[in-house]
Amino acid sequence: MPQSPTASPTACLVLADGTVFYGQGFGATGVTVAELCFNTAMTGYQEIMTDPSYAGQIVTFTFPHIGNVGVNPDDDESNDPVAEGMVVKWMPTQSANWRAAQELGDWLASRGRIAIGGVDTRRLTRSIRQSGAPHVALAHDPEGAFDIEDLLARARGFPGLEGLDLAKQVTCAQSYRWDEMRWAWPDGYARQENGRYKVVAVDYGAKRNILRSLASAGCDVTVLPASATAEEVLAHDPDGVFLTNGPGDPAATGEYAVPMIREILDKTDLPMFGICLGHQMLALALGAKTVKMNHGHHGANHPVKDTETGKVEITSMNHGFAVDSQTLPEGVIETHVSLFDGSNCGIRMADRPVFSVQQHPEASPGPQDSFYLFERFAASMEKAKTAKV
């Protein structure tokens, strides 16, 4: 049954099962259709909205205070919001932060992203947890004129993310160099001027803070599009290869990414490090399989256990697919697992400096428990360079 409308609703969220949530719209007007997920992070809404891994999704924020620090150009993880829209409990108030350059609603409107406030996000989150990530239509009309039947048909007509390659939609158009390092008080972003390790990062939807983290670990980074071939990667004579995060079904992206990774593994002994979709690409290249999760992992409070050290890290997560640990081949070791549901969160090759993790060790604004993985990648390249001498 539809939720009771609020006074003069200007936005509504229609789920494919017929449930309707009414609220107040902000940001752009119009209609958007996507998969709906929820994120439990208490900070970082701007980074979340600009994370390319959210392509094809609308984000429900479980934390109610969204918009209170405004937005600013320094916190973008990509040029524009990539998430299709946002759902929040309370309408954003006027921002109160010295770094704010724009209000959240104005920022969303200028970039064509729809948002709805005044929604019972606890009820919505329970529904997603119980029934899985639904297909939805989100509409914002200042006059409050909604054709619910049409919106329901649009939600039911959304094809979903399974079988969908979204990496090609969010990857870079051409290669480029990256030298900006992580933000540090009081000077902000410094530049890496003496990178010791030449790294090629294959961009399946890279977050800027991943590239900054590589630069801060001493890497001279060259970014290549998702469709890059092994020949194009190796033409840069890299010390290591990095596989970035990204959106969509890993099996679909793997159609062209997996052969490239396999060729590099067959032809070289280069260190390789993958994050999120990059983790899934590596797993597929090594012979494992991936599966669609019920509602995925999206938040900044996810406990992950390092199975080799016993250490538990609090991590940032954003993925709706996972590597099936039961399909990992001989010679591939599971290194990290989620303490929420036991799903795979990391692998490594037993005899080579090739590894990957599902979590985001670069997480900005946090947590930073897993940043050591960038140092591990740098150490593996140092060891390989030393062995050549």
Question: Which residues are known catalytic residues?
Answer: 276, 360, 362
205: helix, strand or coil: coil
Say which residues have a Cβ less than 8 Å from residue 342's Cβ, sequence separation at least 6.
none
Instruction: Tell me how far the alpha carbon of residue 218 is from its chain's centroid.
Output: 24
Q: Nearest to residue 156, comparing CAs of 140, 136, 172?
A: 136
Q: How far apart are the C-alpha atoms of 222 and 242, rounded to whole Å? A: 10
Say which residues have a Cβ less than 8 Å from residue 263's Cβ, sequence separation at least 6.
230
CA distance to 82, 121, 169, per residue, from 165 (Å):
15, 29, 8
DSSP sequence for 42-90: SS-HHHHHT-GGGTTEEEEESSS--STT-B-GGG-SSSS--SSEEE-SS
CA distance to 184, 332, 352, 380, per residue, from 194 (Å):
18, 34, 27, 18
Count of helices and strands (H, E) across the chain? 10, 19
Q: Which two tokens stand for residue 341?
A: 């549901």
Q: Which two tokens stand for residue 117?
A: 């406030």
Q: How far apart are the C-alpha atoms of 350 and 331, rounded to whole Å? A: 5
Tokens 């429900």, located at residue: 60
Task: Enter the DSSP assignment of 360.
Answer: B
